[in-house]
Amino acid sequence: MLIRYKCIILEELEEAVKKTCRSPATKGVTPLDNKCWHCEKSESERSLTKCVICFRYFCEDCAHDHNGRMFCSKQCAQFFFFGDEDD
């Protein structure tokens, strides 16, 4: 039961992440591309970090800092800290 609930949350997060794409150029960027998902700077241009929630790469300029942790988006940060409160 708990596993099914977490899968539903991950599906909802995935949909929210898709909605946060801020430019048409970022559509189609997969978690395996070594570019910042938001500004599309490559690993040779910027230092990239992988999000612990959705595994997308992001640069420091596009990162969302929440309680000292870096995430690719506000949604991933909120999911990390508050996603399992309903359990």
87 inside domain: no
Residue 32 has a pLDDT of 47
64 inside domain: yes
Looking at the predicted structure, is the pLDDT value of residue 76 above 60?
Answer: yes
Mean pLDDT for 30-52 is 84
Mean pLDDT for 48-53 is 94
Domain that holds residue 55: 2-82
**Tally of domains in the chain:** 1
In the chain, the amino acid numbered 85 is: E
pTM of model > 0.75: no
Q: How far apart are CA 79 and CA 9, in angstroms?
A: 9
Which string of DSSP letters, residue by residue, matches 32-56?
TSSB-TTT--BTTTS-EEE-TTT--
Q: What is the pLDDT of residues 5-26, one digit of tens each?
A: 445 566 666 666 665 544 444 4
78 inside domain: yes
Check residues 32 and 67 and name the one with the higher pLDDT: 67
Q: Long-range pairs for 17-22 at CB < 8 Å and ≥24 separation?
A: 17/54, 17/56, 17/73, 17/75, 17/76, 20/73, 20/74, 20/75
